[in-house]
Structure 1
Amino acid sequence: MKVKSVIIACLLFAASAQVKAQSYRDFAHVKQLSKSAPYDNAGHQSFPDFTYQSQLSPQLIGLRQAFNLDSVAGKGSQTDRAIRLLNWFHNQVPHQDTLNIDSLNAMNVISFYRSHKVGQGCYVLSIGMNDIFLAMGFKSRTVICFSDAYPVAHGGHVVNALYIDSLNKWIYIDPQENAYMKDEKGLFLSIEEVRQRIIDGRPIILNSTANYHNIPTKKEDYVYTFLAEHLYRMICPVVSEYNSQTITPGKVFTYVELLPVGSKDPKADRFETSVSKRYSVITYHTNNSNLFWKKP
């Protein structure tokens, strides 16, 4: 009887999981994301190689020492150390929709909050997180995510892609929500894998410590509503370094944008090719996700 009960319970659990996966695919933004064309990984678009600042640069050494990041990261695997850094930075500066500060770097982001008690938006938080990872010797990118809304982009979200050598892959990191995700086997997921699993209805496990202002993050809202809307087109700075996004007179910002085949690209953001009085933007576009997520 006990064995029979266990079998019945397992069958019921499997059926429940299947229904839940199906219900997630019924979410409006999941349906919309699922309609997007696939990437063209046979395409040969060319753009500059992504570069990552050495942790030996004076600015990153200063950041590492100022906040004792070696102690924050502690010992253990790359993922153990990275998650401690994520948790620490998430607790240093809360999310707040406000105007960007002038100097977009981790030192200023943290110092500004300590002196003014004003948080920062997801874009600035991602930049700060990126600096911290670079200072600790990781390869990391800021990833700007938008929906397929056209001709005017609708909101957006900014996260980090962190390369883990021991896993031979990029993993998803979100400092705003203290979030990362795994599959049903406990393996860390990349941004690309999160996107595809949303489309396919495969399991996504959100870490239990994910939170927004100490309120636990609900996976249904965060993954299948918010992220499902904004994981359509993604933009990364070509140069990943301290102050890379700080605007200075005459500066040229270079980005690469990943789009599904046949996408229309809204120009209602700062990340499209343009020239202003203060700075210029050059944006390369690709439909090849393999090139975009090239290993560093």
Structure 2
Amino acid sequence: MKFKYALLSLALFTTASLFGQNKPQPAFTPYADNFSDKLQKAYDKRDAETGRKLVEDFATQYNKLSREDKVYFGGNITNAYYNLSCIYAITNSKEKALQYLDSAVVKGYTDYKHLGEDTDFANIKAEPGFTAIRTKIRSIGDYLYILQKAGKYNSAQKRVIPAFSYQPATAPALVALRKKFNLDSVAGTGTDLEKMKNLLHWVHNTVNHDGQHESGIKLINADEIIGAARSRKVGVSCGELASVLQDCYLAMGWKARKVYCFPKDSLKTDFDSHVINVVYLPANQKWIWMDPTNNAYVTNDKGEMLGIEEVREGLVNNKPLVLNTDANWNNRQVITKNFYLYNYMAKNLYMLYSPIKSEFDYQTPGKNRSVGYVMLLPLEYYVQTPDKTVNVNRETNTTVTRYRTNNAVQFWSVEE
């Protein structure tokens, strides 16, 4: 039998595979895998002393890693302390169980919900120390609670931000894209919404997602990303998939954006975020949610398509939300509503940002290029200033300007 949190760690690894994109560090992996197997056996035998020695040895080796590798294997050290705590809790060594559970929290354990449900801790759940630890992590690990607490924006705020703009379908690069990939045929002959869904499915099925490896693609546009993915047989990041779908929507004449979705991450330990799209549906006069990584869109209980702001508001106020039944990752793993909306996206809808310009190749770094973004922050967020930052990449001489706002109306404005 696997430990409960060992199973959770697999779920977390899968999450990184589904959504994030991290550089793998294989050199330490065999040792880490072997350690996990040995600790599993100690758990099965309820052998706390062997478990303690294994974890101490693992911590010694982990501390020798480079800073980058420590980040990559951070979940392993967290799991090690958590699982050792489980062994001590099962064997009713309460003081040691709480000691190592606290160590897990110090190393980054934040899963408030799982900790409350884990039956391994039945012997210590009534202990004040356990309650204190769980209360401590709620503000960093109960993602729906964090989002509901953050909640509000300020529609009256008047920070100056530039207007968003959308490249017209007559732009030569978009005309060529539409023709090359026969997007009219892909979209079909139905309503705008049906066409938008068809393009979502096509992008999802054409280019695989890979959250574990850098694609190496240098030009951020649909033609380059699709071509490289096909010719080199590589998967791409969620951001690259969103670039493809954005360009396809623009080529068909619809306004569309990439939207970067980020967690609060007050401890600066969560390196995972997600990138999806919104496309403007003229018939409904609204933005709607489209996620090419997961073939996903969201409706209310009446079947009406929702945008990011409506989904966020629905999570904050406990409104019914519905995920399409064919949402999936790489046509290999079903994506469930509870995980996707109430866990993963609840985490990553804390703050958002979008490129100021939605256009083919806009985000490709290059000499003397300028790229701008607008960040939408909840009032609760602890970093509200400055209103504008400017950074220059010395290697490419690319200038990146970021604007901050708390005004959701301004952020979601359609007018150019």
2:167 corresponds to 1:50: no
Give the 3-state SS of the residue equivalent to 1:161 in structure 2.
Answer: strand
Cα separation, partners in 2 of 1:65 and 1:143, compared to 1, 3 Å: same
Of residues 282, 287, 296 in structure 2, which corresponds to 1:179? 296
Task: Calculate percent identity across the aligned residue pairs.
Answer: 37
Quote the residue 2:86 is aligned against: none
2:294 corresponds to 1:294: no
Taking structure 1 as the reference length, the TM-score comes to: 0.87
- How far apart are the structure 2 equivalents of 1:179 and 1:227? 12
- How far apart are the structure 2 equivalents of 1:155 and 1:272? 23
Equivalent pair of 2:169/2:252 in contact (CA under 8 Å):
yes
Identify the structure with bigger relative contact order (alpha carbons < 8 Å, sequence gap 6+).
Answer: 1
2:382 corresponds to 1:264: yes
Of residues 340, 364, 371 in structure 2, which corresponds to 1:222? 340
Of residues 133, 136, 142 in structure 1, which corresponds to 2:252? 136
Equivalent pair of 2:377/2:384 in contact (CA under 8 Å):
no
Quote the residue 1:11 is aligned against: none
> Structure 2, unaligned stretches of length 5 or more?
1-137
Taking structure 2 as the reference length, the TM-score comes to: 0.62
Quote the residue 2:214 is aligned against: 99
> Structure 1, unaligned stretches of length 5 or more?
1-25
Matches for 1:55-204 after TM superposition, within 5 Å: 55-97=169-211, 98-100=213-215, 101-150=217-266, 152=268, 154-204=271-321
2:362 corresponds to 1:244: yes
Give the total of aligned pairs: 268
C-alpha RMSD of matched pairs (Å): 1.9
- How far apart are the structure 1 equivalents of 2:380 and 2:144? 19
Structure with bigger strand share is 1
Structure with bigger helix share is 2
In structure 1, give the amino acid aligned to 2:210: Q
Equivalent pair of 2:153/2:377 in contact (CA under 8 Å):
yes
Of residues 329, 339, 342 in structure 2, which corresponds to 1:212? 329
Cα displacement (A) at 1:250: 2.1
Give the 3-state SS of the residue equivalent to 2:178 in structure 1.
Answer: helix
Cα displacement (A) at 1:150: 3.1
Cα displacement (A) at 1:265: 3.9
In structure 2, give the amino acid aligned to 1:235: Y
In structure 2, give the amino acid aligned to 1:256: V
Equivalent pair of 1:150/1:266 in contact (CA under 8 Å):
no
Quote the residue 1:5 is aligned against: none
Cα separation, partners in 2 of 1:132 and 1:201, compared to 1, 3 Å: same
Cα displacement (A) at 1:272: 6.2
Cα displacement (A) at 1:134: 0.3
Please identify the structure whose Cα radius of gyration is greater.
2
Cα separation, partners in 2 of 1:224 and 1:273, compared to 1, 3 Å: farther
Structure 1 consecutive aligned stretches of length 4 or more whose deviation exceeds 6 Å = none
Cα displacement (A) at 1:151: 6.0
Cα displacement (A) at 1:246: 0.7
